[in-house]
Structure 1
Amino acid sequence: MQRSQHEDFEEIQEDEEQEDTSYNNQTNYKKIIFFWSLLIIIIGLIVSGNYFYDHFITARKVANTVYAPSTNDKSRNVEQLLKDGKPVSILLMGTDTGALGRSFKGRTDTMIVAVLNPSKKTMTLVSLPRDALVAVNGYEQYYPSKLNSAYAYGGSTAAIKTVEKYLNVPIDFYATINMGGLEGLINAVGGLNIKPLLSFSYGGYTFTKDKEVHMNGNEALQYCRMRDDDPLGDYGRQNRQRQIIMALAFKGVKLSSLLNDKFLNSLSKQLKTDLSFNDLIALGKNYRIATHHVKSTHLQGTTQKIGSADFEVVSVDEKQKITNTLRKALELSSAQTGNTLTDDMEINTETK
């Protein structure tokens, strides 16, 4: 029997209420944002160098496969921005589509706004709490909602517009990675060497704390799925997921992986972005310098129970601080932070 859209929304909301609302420590935070940043730049790096010529055709096919334009009207002329080498913003999202046996459209348990500023040679990364209290753009009737449900409700279109209105900053591009596809990516790079963070047995495998083991894709997936026997619950599971993701990121950017058509083809099945092939070439050629210096921060809220669910409620002052950070990185004029409950708010793209 086919499920209704509203039933899926209710299941999403119920599942969210059971999840732990703890947040990353600073060390793990820096690791995870590094991974998402690498994913969106990898293809641009591949297609920008003549020494990758033999793999140019494969890279182009990958770029065309992952290309999924948003139905949003862009807030800015992104083609001109890239041509002029101006700062651009990318909403990086990690979805749980296909993970843990879920059949409904995935939520975005990782949401990061990345700003690449080549003239200042800086990348600014702001992590957004998945449980932030918002009204999802186009789905305001489901208020109160969590920020990570925006993608589940309306895909990249709803996620982009919700973040834009929430912070009053333009989002020029987006990129999503399917967390359910990690197994294939891990196998494509020949597996990973991992030191387990704790001892446990799960999914037919036994893991011993601090005893390094070479994991294939399935073993790594089982390692980062277990939650019930972890003293830290879902937060502990997230720690292990980040450990696996970072090991994959560092191995994925090695030359052997970048020249590995199997890895590229696997990546093409898990990554979606509205960056076109030409956009990726522009990033690879003109924006790599922006990764030389990384500035990272996060939007901080306080946990409040609304109805039966816990939300992260962010003060206006905290939101304004993040809005100021992002607009400064984008070289935009100062502006008041956003509000998702204001339907007619226009995104301020005025330059200095």
Structure 2
Amino acid sequence: MSRKSNRRKSSKLWLKIPLILIGVLILGVGAYAFTIYNNAAKTVNEKMHEPVESIDRETTKKKMKETEQLNILLLGIDSEQGTSGRSDAMMVLSLNPTDDSMKLISIPRDTRTTIAGKGIEDKINHAHAFGGTEMSIETIENFLDIELDYYVRMNMDGLSELVDELGTITVDNEIAWNDHTYDFNVGPVELDGDQTMAYVRMRKQDPNGDFGRTSRQRQVIEGIINKGASVGSVTKINSTIDVLGNNMATNLDFDDMKKLLSGYKNTRKNIESYQLQGDGTTIDGVYYLIVSGEEIEKVRGMIEGEV
């Protein structure tokens, strides 16, 4: 199936967390910490590594060797639906070592597009339910007219445990609210695992609704990337790797990760985040977000470094 020939409301809102661990695993902790633990290599290569046919291995290896820009698809899967569930979190993480920049682009789950391999118009997050990671990759590539180099898929059950392994993370909260368990004040807020889950669940108290929630998802990603980069003790690596091994799949192998650490680690110094914009509409009683061609072109330009 050609990668360019085909061109998408979970009730578990809190499961819509992106693949936060990407920063911890790939960009945050040092290369030395990985190499001194045999458990890391074994866990990555035997438990996490899942190649896909839709991404050419030789091409991505060459791009990484030459330290070219890489695009990584982040998928957050509803834990209770297993690996065949809907991808209720979808982001494209673009790493550009030329100017040491990272772009994090959110794709709203209700975005209407053509599902690759099925030829039907549907919500973009249904692609994973229909055809797993392969169909998600092809659908998103066709939708944005980009080429993806790697993917990271996470079962979100491990989020709270992952944050607790790091200790806490810090986010810059934009609105004051409480959920009758925790108070979230405006400004820097320190979160443990349970507080992180509450922080990303909230939608109804946010005047921006789902858009506000996805903004908090990106804040959490940045918080974990920054905390992962400053972890002082390598004794945390084994337990963190165990958490990831039980909740993550990727076509990155251990050698790929070491190369990312050496060639792309400075991209976290300049993080830019964005969410695709569109207009909501109802078709046959189902809500969709319609993204214009101009918006898609804008985002493609951001990912490719043209904007």
Whether these two folds match at TM > 0.5 is yes
Which is higher, the Rg of structure 1 or of structure 2? Answer: 1
Query: 1:1-352 alignment to 2 at 5 Å?
Result: 15-16=9-10, 35=20, 38-39=23-24, 41-42=26-27, 45-46=29-30, 48-49=31-32, 52=33, 55-64=36-45, 65-74=47-56, 77-98=59-80, 105-140=84-119, 143-190=120-167, 197-201=176-180, 206-208=181-183, 210=185, 217=193, 219-220=194-195, 223=198, 230-232=204-206, 235=210, 250-256=226-232, 258-260=234-236, 261-328=238-305
Q: TM-score, normalised by structure 1?
A: 0.67
CA contact (8 A) 2:112 2:288 kept: yes
Q: For this pair of structures, how many residues does the alignment match? A: 290
Higher mean C-alpha displacement, 149-158 vs 122-131: 122-131
- Assess if the C-alpha contact under 8 Å between 1:55 and 1:259 holds in 2: no
Q: 1:258 to 1:309 in 2, by over 3 A?
A: farther
Distance in 1 separating the partners of 2:216 and 2:245: 24
Distance 2:27 2:298 in 1: 31
Structure 2: unaligned runs, 5 residues or longer: 1-7
CA distance in 1, matches of 2:54, 2:249: 15
User: Partners in 1 of 2:190 and 2:268 — Cα distance?
Assistant: 30
Displacement of 1:242: 6.6
CA distance in 1, matches of 2:136, 2:90: 9
Residues 146 and 115 of structure 1: CA distance in aligned 2, closer, same or farther (over 3 Å): same
1:147 Cα deviation from its structure 2 partner = 1.1
User: What amino acid sits opposite 1:155 in the alignment?
Assistant: G
Higher RCO, 1 or 2 (CA under 8 Å, sep at least 6)?
2
Match of 1:153, SS state, is helix
- Quote the Cα distance in structure 1 between the aligned partners of 2:93 and 2:197: 30
Rate the CA distance shift 1:281–1:238 in 2: closer, same or farther, 3 A.
Answer: closer
C-alpha distance after superposition, 1:107-151 (max 9, x if no partner): 2222221222222322233222221111211233xx331111212
Q: 1:216 to 1:33 in 2, by over 3 A?
A: closer
Deviation at 1:90, TM superposition (A): 0.9
* Secondary structure at 2:130 match in 1: helix
Kept in 2, the 8 Å contact 1:189–1:257? The answer is no
RMSD: 3.9
Matched residues, percent identical?
26
The structure with the largest strand share of the pair is 2
Secondary structure in 1 aligned to 2:36?
A: helix
| Residues 117, 250 of structure 1: alpha-carbon distance in 2 compared, 3 angstrom cutoff | closer
TM-superposed CA distance for 1:226, in Å, is: 6.5
When normalised by structure 2's length, the TM-score is: 0.76
